[in-house]
Structure 1
Amino acid sequence: MTVQSLHHVSVVVDDLEEATAFFTALGLELEGRAPIEGTWVDRINGLDGIRVDIAMMRTPRGQGRLELTKFHSPAAVGEGSGPAPSNTLGLRSIMFEVDDVDATAETAVAHGGELMGEIVDYEDVYRLCYVRGPEGIIIALSQDLR
């Protein structure tokens, strides 16, 4: 038994429209939207009365997906107040390879993102930065310089 591929990463958000618009601005494509509810999803999640809306986003070449999930019932729960720092246990970031880190970071900021530090070159191999997007999601951007 081995893993075949990574199908998608799922992120729970409060404002599905804002998150969808943000990731669309970065170049992801909306693959589809759907309401999800029923006993099957309750059983998978171990929660009763689940009612969510999802937006499935995919990278332009189709090799990666990001599922954005808005919980209507039961209400989503948070881990304290404010965005978590970079060294918080759990999901750290979602990294996207882009053709121009500077332009993509500028687009992210124009759509409500915040550059977390600086844009830097790593050994003339990669140009990198971190942007905090909607809901505090950390998006890492990587540009191959080779």
Structure 2
Amino acid sequence: MAIKIDNVGIAVRDIEAAIAFFTDLGLTVLGRDTISGGWADTAVGLDGNHAKIAVLQTPDGLGRLEFFEYIHPDAIETDPTLPNEIGMHRVAFSVDDIDDALEIAAKHGYHPLRGVATYQDIYKLTYLHGPSGILLMFAQELKPAAP
């Protein structure tokens, strides 16, 4: 099964401030959107999920960060993570077959938080807790049907 890291997601208090800082460091904004709806609730596992998002890319084109500022539900403030604390927010993996990826996860006891969602006929995606409670996303790009 082919697998690669797609992006690292980071919840932020102020998406504009985050974009300003990281673009000053040399990252490029690839896209922005505001997401909500049933597909977002299913993929992320939160009811009423509504957030502003932005995807930034490193200058080498290999690394991407996805920032999200929650509109609903309210963001939860926590103490900053220390280097020796286990876990992080989310790591997203682009997979060629989400069913294969979920089958492998299930063998280790990990399952989607809510199910698999389809985003605008572009991606099938889901969130799941992996080892040490690390939040993961699997995303499969959907190919248009051949004529």
TM-score, structure 2 as length reference: 0.56
1:89 deviates by: 1.7
Q: CA RMSD in A?
A: 1.6
1:44 deviates by: 1.1
- Please list, as runs of the form range in 1=range in 2, the aligned pairs for 1:118-133 lying within 5 A after superposition: none
- Tell me the equivalent position of 1:61: 60
1:20 deviates by: 0.6
- Tell me the equivalent position of 2:21: 22
Which residue identity lines up with residue 26 of structure 1 in the other structure?
L
1:63 deviates by: 1.1
| Gap runs ≥5 in structure 2 | 90-147
1:87 matched to 2:69: no
1:51 matched to 2:44: no
Which residue identity lines up with residue 14 of structure 2 in the other structure?
D
SS at 1:41 equivalent: helix
| 1-structure distance, mates of 2:83, 2:65 | 20
SS at 1:75 equivalent: coil
Greater relative contact order (Cα < 8 A, sep 6+): 2
1:22-66 residue CA offsets vs partner (Å, 9 max, x unmatched): 111111001111011110010112211111000100011211110
| 2-structure distance, mates of 1:84, 1:42 | 26
- Tell me the equivalent position of 1:72: 71
| 2-structure distance, mates of 1:67, 1:45 | 14
1:10 deviates by: 0.4
| 2-structure distance, mates of 1:46, 1:86 | 27
1:87 deviates by: 1.3
1:74-113 residue CA offsets vs partner (Å, 9 max, x unmatched): 112233xx42322122139xxxxxxxxxxxxxxxxxxxxx
SS at 1:44 equivalent: helix
Residues matched between the structures, number: 89
Which residue identity lines up with residue 47 of structure 2 in the other structure?
D
| Gap runs ≥5 in structure 1 | 93-146
1:2 deviates by: 3.8
| 1-structure distance, mates of 2:58, 2:75 | 26
Which residue identity lines up with residue 88 of structure 2 in the other structure?
L
